[in-house]
Amino acid sequence: MSSYAVGWTEPAIRLLEGIRDVRVRSRLLRVAEALREAPHQRGRPLRDEFSGYWSLHWSRYRIIYIIEDGSHVVRIAAVGMRAEGKPHDVYETARRLLSQGLLDPPAN
């Protein structure tokens, strides 16, 4: 099994930097780096408008990412807390980023 490189999009970096708790940020970085090995087995594929994206859960946080198998790259698209129904929910944030053209859609 070959390993993947993990890269962060600019929006994902800004979202990570916006998390106040340094311990949480550090842990999310480690969880994201673990996607180097078997990214298909660590997360779950998303559906509907997020088709092609994957989500990895850690505590109340989610890491939304794209797996580029051809180039063996995992791109972190968004990171944040799951707060269903709230404007700061990570999926709502990702939806806004997509609608504003700030996230590239996954290559199919």
Helix (H) / strand (E) element for 68: namely strand 61-68
- Kindly list the structural domains of the chain, giving each domain's residue range(s) and its CATH number in brackets, ordered by start: 5-99 (3.30.2310.20)
Q: How far apart are CA 70 and CA 98, in angstroms?
A: 23
Whether 81 and 70 have beta carbons less than 8 Å apart is answered as no
pLDDT in tens, the chain (108 residues): 579 999 999 999 999 999 999 999 999 999 999 999 999 999 999 999 899 999 999 999 999 999 999 999 999 999 999 988 887 899 999 999 999 988 877 775
Given this model, what pLDDT does residue 7 score? Answer: 96
CA distance 65 to 56: 8
Tokens representing 87 are 């404007």
Q: The whole model's pTM is what?
A: 0.92
How is residue 12 written in tokens? 């994902």
